[in-house]
A and B are shown apart, each in its own frame.
Chain A
């Protein structure tokens, strides 16, 4: 069963990923986690995402197309990256989610993936 672990970061943590003074500490916390996931042989896919300021959103509003700077939803925490993992059940997926070294105010959302479509 595939699940997606989605990591939500606040603005400060987005900054911590690239800020020269803080990035070492950020990645020192994150890399072992990623390594443990890969080591377990469960990773199907993953990506780290650029901050929401780099996002472009195309909205379809009653046939009207509108292109916007910024993310779809303006929430305090934004999606910062994800892992798609293949594990037997939700319980195992939650175990992996709980290991994520979240910053203060951070969160992980776990969602089951829909079964793959016929290609």
Chain B
């Protein structure tokens, strides 16, 4: 329980930090300078709040601490004068609305759109979001994304310089460009989830990946844009996956495939929330990639609980996904579902049709290939495919699982 309280305090510190950073950046346009100004106050909040409790007005607390530091710095002329002036002005505006008792303005949606702006290098978008909106440190982000920390640092600085120098406007895009821009935001959040999912099972139980952070971003986005079906779809998708978090490993840490999971270890509250989000999304009547992916997970969830999975429906959903966005992942997923629905040979035909060059080192392809070849009784080819699926695997639990499957 105590741990829960501590985690909540740390979460509150990140929430307030993100709000404040968004508010100040939207006015000064200098994200890096805002980060510098808030860094010490944020560190103190992360360290102090779990012990002392969250202050009644967390943003005001951070702001006061940061302002004090800014004024000091300015006196010592250690910050560029222009940036400091803009910041202090913004800080004054923030202080004013705190004094009026008004709710602290939330500019985080604008910040999310800035982070996923087309002018920002695609590889920097998710890291930028994690760093600015949630205050994650660059080293942790670099580890999750398998990038050299110094490179990640440079990538992030470049992105922030771009925002400042190109004067990218802090605003929610207009209706006509909203879908495409929103898509980039969703992609970036999902990329954080994917990274978290991948290294979920690392041997170190401390490494929990970024799934929690991604879900936090997803929740934030639902709060900020509650009527966008794809926003709802993305959160539903992540919650469905997260619901099975505990059941994905057995006591020894080995991977347990969905069909063999102990469904009593699933989080029913997460599933219920996901289902309700998905219903709201469908009601809008505008199908999208994340809604389809969430629907696939939903079908898996109800199938596994009923002890009978409707693979025909899942294959159909994949068909829709492939039509909408034919990623390698969707193509491989469709082949796997078809293999279950219509037999291994049907699945294999779809798999074989994927250009080999695109999947040569794509682990899920070889895992599905191995399974479908084994099911067709093609033992030699299956062994080869298992060997590659194991060799390309980053994750010990999955490796072990595949080793046990190998004929």
Q: Does B388 contact A (CB under 8 A)?
A: yes
* A67–chain B nearest beta-carbon distance, Å: 37
Q: Does B390 contact A (CB under 8 A)?
A: yes
Q: How far is the CA of A32 from the CA of B398 in the complex (A)?
A: 13
Q: How far is the CA of A98 from the CA of B146 in the complex (A)?
A: 8
Q: Report the nearest A residue to B146, measured CB to CB.
A: A94
Q: Report the nearest B residue to A94, measured CB to CB.
A: B146
A24-35 interface bits toward B, Cβ cutoff 8 Å, 1 = contact, 0 = none? 000011011111
Q: Does A16 contact B (CB under 8 A)?
A: no
Q: Does B375 contact A (CB under 8 A)?
A: no
Q: How far is the CA of A94 from the CA of B403 in the complex (A)?
A: 24
Do A35 and B391 have beta carbons less than 8 Å apart? yes
Do A40 and B360 have beta carbons less than 8 Å apart? yes
* A98–chain B nearest beta-carbon distance, Å: 5
Number of A-B contacts (CB under 8 A): 42
Q: Which listed residue (A32, A90, A99) contacts B387, Cβ 8 A?
A: A32
Which residues in A have their C-beta under 8 angstroms from that of B390?
Answer: 32-33
Interface hub of B203, B360, B361 (most chain A Cβ within 10 A): B361
Do A99 and B403 contact each other (CB < 8 Å), given the known contacts A40-B360, A94-B147? no
Interface SS of A by simple majority? helix
Do A36 and B392 have beta carbons less than 8 Å apart? yes
The total of chain B residues at the interface (CB under 8 A) is 17
Q: Does A91 contact B (CB under 8 A)?
A: yes
Q: How far is the CA of A37 from the CA of B392 in the complex (A)?
A: 8
Q: Report the nearest A residue to B388, measured CB to CB.
A: A36
Do A36 and B361 contact each other (CB < 8 Å), given the known contacts A94-B146, A99-B391, A99-B392? yes
Q: Does B371 contact A (CB under 8 A)?
A: no
Q: Which listed residue (B146, B203, B360, B394) contacts A104, Cβ 8 A?
A: B203
Which residues in A have their C-beta under 8 angstroms from that of B146?
Answer: 91, 94-95, 98
* A21–chain B nearest beta-carbon distance, Å: 18
Which residues in A have their C-beta under 8 angstroms from that of B148?
Answer: 90, 94
Do B387 and A35 have beta carbons less than 8 Å apart? yes
* B249–chain A nearest beta-carbon distance, Å: 17
Do A34 and B403 contact each other (CB < 8 Å), given the known contacts A40-B361, A95-B146, A98-B146? no
Q: How far is the CA of A40 from the CA of B403 in the complex (A)?
A: 21
Which residues in B have their C-beta under 8 angstroms from that of A66?
Answer: none
* B148–chain A nearest beta-carbon distance, Å: 7
Q: Which of B372-400 contact A (CB under 8 A)?
A: 387-388, 390-394, 396, 399
Q: How far is the CA of A68 from the CA of B10 in the complex (A)?
A: 53
* A75–chain B nearest beta-carbon distance, Å: 21
Do A91 and B147 contact each other (CB < 8 Å), given the known contacts A40-B360, A101-B396, A101-B399? yes
Q: Does A53 contact B (CB under 8 A)?
A: no
* B356–chain A nearest beta-carbon distance, Å: 11
* A109–chain B nearest beta-carbon distance, Å: 12
* A89–chain B nearest beta-carbon distance, Å: 10
Q: How far is the CA of A33 from the CA of B391 in the complex (A)?
A: 4
In the complex, the 3 A-B pairs of residues with the closest C-beta atoms, listed nearest first:
A36-B391, A32-B391, A32-B390
17 A-B residue pairs with CB within 8 Å:
A32-B387, A32-B390, A34-B391, A35-B387, A35-B391, A36-B392, A39-B360, A39-B388, A39-B391, A40-B360, A40-B361, A98-B146, A99-B391, A99-B392, A101-B396, A101-B399, A104-B203
Chain B residues engaging chain A, CB cutoff 8 angstroms:
146-148, 151, 203, 360-361, 387-388, 390-394, 396, 399, 403
